[in-house]
Structure 1
């Protein structure tokens, strides 16, 4: 990865991840067990959702195609960060090679932004379903859905490439201690030296904030039209049914952007290193953990399909 991008190694061959250095040592095994269980649940929960959608032909609709793509991006995002996090909790050696740091940043940004773009596409899907139901099959055709998914992955890849290339073209003169549990932009910028560091920091910040705000504004605009359309439905039952189709997506939007805004938009201070690591853990471990739970519990159609597909196999008499 580093050679392909033509990145600047300067005098650095490796970094030291210091994210857990301020944690009490006797609690690290407890955190390891907790995060391991959450990680396994995240993997199994997303695989469970994907298997249910693909095995039930009644769920072969645009909304569930997006959900499968979202589960895939979530699995890959956690795979880029969590295994290394778990290893560092039990290891005394926290060094990470320069190339591994580059790869981790690229894939975490790629899958993270892909996740945001897919959530935005799901908001558009709900907007079309409620505001333009008669044109839904035309606007959200299989080809159109595949186009949105492909562009989400392409957009995430471009964002990951832009951010990673900008950061690792800087010179790193030392110290080589990253005060985080993975190769994250703000702590890496503190290790960089040169007159162009403030320019790169400003540019990367503007690119990331613009992309995230753009996604969130598109989602807000979609829901503004959705709420207006729902309020026009005469019956309370009809309004409830229409809103229930958006409940799981809206909950994931609130959780995803809620944690992201706290992490990326809160003021930084020299005393915030431990707090940054803790908030980073909630975003990289807790948010992916909650996502399959939200979609499973707040989506009646998916819950019914899970029971029909898997419980019937465990107990043939139940079918």
Structure 2
């Protein structure tokens, strides 16, 4: 049932986005099986510093983070939004089990294949860990958990994924997240910090072309799942970074005038040099992060930054 709902939403969102002016596609649909594999490669490429920076934070600070979460409750479930391959999260999970603070992990991801992979592989890596994966949109899945009982939670939203929202959208997201938590629950949020503009731009325009392939893969997915007629060779990947606003945006730009059709007869016309807005990766200052947390109704607990001051994980509590 969930897969049918996701497929229906995918078609609806693609039609809405490609019918708009300017055209756009939602970045959450990057993550089919091939998109997942490409993103795992991106995280390992030299230019993509975000993963290494956050991995350092979690490697060095997991025990401190977890101890801070026991101020009100001695044990809790660890829930992750957009879990991906959970490679960084493993530091937290292993420490939580060593400290006997938690042995239940709930990865939530729109990619059913990734959730299935975690459910199968993590218990073998961390014996005794209960993995109860949920495939679907974040908030409907959090609603299920909220209705399942009063167990305290540490909710993770790592990797700078909050940056895929505009700052005004990020406030709305964090307020909604807060509404699904109970007093005493914690949230650990990852934010990419503002830094040298070229370093940021390089992270989304790697020399190996992985980010380009990742963006173009969404056109392949539309072809495969919705009967689209995209030729990815008709588009170029174009990222830009604005150091004033902190917005790093990615576009696919049409190289010629042509039409695209879906299997239901829906038709879209592209002009030469017309862009499709693909995603934003917003970069933040520490002041902006603190203001965001306060406006969303969270109490700041602790801030963790990597040694090169590139990335931060902030721990918030719902009062």
Q: TM-score range by the shorter chain?
A: under 0.3
Structure of greater relative contact order (alpha carbons < 8 Å, 6+ residues apart): 1
Which structure's CA Rg is the greater one? 1
Q: Which has the higher strand share?
A: 2
TM-score, normalised via structure 2 length: 0.26
